[in-house]
Amino acid sequence: MSTSSALPLAGRVVIEFGHSVAAPFAGQILGDLGAEVIKVEKPEGDDARKWGPPFVDGAAATFQALNRNKKSVVCQLRDPDDRARLLALIDARADVVIQNLRPGQADALGLGAQALLARKPSLVYCNLGAFGATGPLKDKPGYDPLMQAFGGIMSMVGEEGWPAVRVGPSIIDMGTGMWAVIGIVSALLRRTSTGAGGVVDVSLFETAGSWMTMFAAQYFASGEVPRKTGSGQVGIVPYRAYRTADGELVVAAGNDKLFASFCAVLGHPEWAADPRFATNPDRVHHAAALYALIEAGMAQRTSADWNAALDAAGVPCAPVQDVQQMLEHPQTQALGLAQRVPGASIPLMGLPVSFDGQRPQPASASPALGAHTQEVLGTRVTA
């Protein structure tokens, strides 16, 4: 896969009416997979261009992380002439349109799914909404932290008795972008046999709800609302982080055999035979007592010492690393997960997927605002 022609979506053209995170992340994935992605921006640009500091190469680092392998076109969507040029571009070249404008805005501009599919039935059109395509909240806007709250995720993050905590990464926005790509690629695959495009709907709330899959099943099965467990996992004990002499280490002893091995490393093989801890359900019922015993032992040695001993015993474990430690780790380096990007001053995280042993390589850095307006639309549009 040394050239873009070998990438799975080479030859496909995507028009992105995207701002902030969800739609731009979807567009970037499609671009990394070989599609030509044309990002349509308002004259002042995607809001994410200003989401800093830090700034690098003329825009916020956050923007740079979400918009490589794209062309930028400035367009006044409310201007009839600009809109006509854009529609002509879609008619002539587009395979996919993705949009996360405010609810109802695309339809009001004549750029919604119904209008564009009437013009071009082979088009795959993807809406990235907030609350979904139907229901009482369908016209309400939303953002990642709101959906982490509304979707139940914040109720499960942090320690019991403490205020709600947001998951740091934008898992709702980025997850919605991933679901958009899954839907788009599926619709393109269907189009190869039917010739017809269609509408893909994804939303931040549906993504948040899907992340709650296991917790929802636990509630349906027990009638009990799951509780916060810090670094642990509902229904599995011991399965969490422990303070060591110099940091924190997560140990995932998820079955009886691993638990017995963990106990042996801790120097207390008798714990595995204790009736309170003999099976996973027993350990869940007596989690507080077991965790108190483990915590006292783990605090006696360094994370590196425990990591080596647990690895030797075949017990899954991992230190809690910060961003720098993760990026500098030999495993990250060996995978080439952080990639150099032509035209960019900093490396960026690549796609977490490889084809025939090769990770797709970025072709270009994020575009300057409007850098491709003349190339794509034939004229430079001004405010």
Q: Which residues are catalytic?
A: 173
The C-alpha atoms of residue 370 and residue 357 are separated, in whole angstroms, by 35
**Strand spans (E) along the chain:** 13-17, 36-41, 55-56, 59-60, 70-74, 96-99, 124-129, 198-203, 239-243, 248-252, 317-319, 338-339, 348-349
Tokens 């001053």: give the residue. 345
User: For residue 346, what are its two tokens?
Assistant: 């900093």
Picking from 67, 86, 103, the residue whose alpha carbon sits closest to that of residue 201 is 103
Tokens representing 349 are 């995280």
H or E element, residue 193: helix 171-194
At residue 128, the 3 state secondary structure works out as strand
Three-state DSSP at 91 gives helix
Q: How many CB atoms lie within 10 A of CB 276?
A: 12
CA dist 287 and 240 (Å) reads: 11
Phi, psi for residue 316 in degrees, rounded to 5: -60, 130
CA distance 172 to 203: 9
Task: Give the C-alpha separation, 264 to 272, whole Å.
Answer: 9
Q: Report whether the peptide linkage leading into residue 226 is cis, meaning its omega lies within 30 degrees of zero.
A: no
CB 67 within 8 A of CB 39: yes
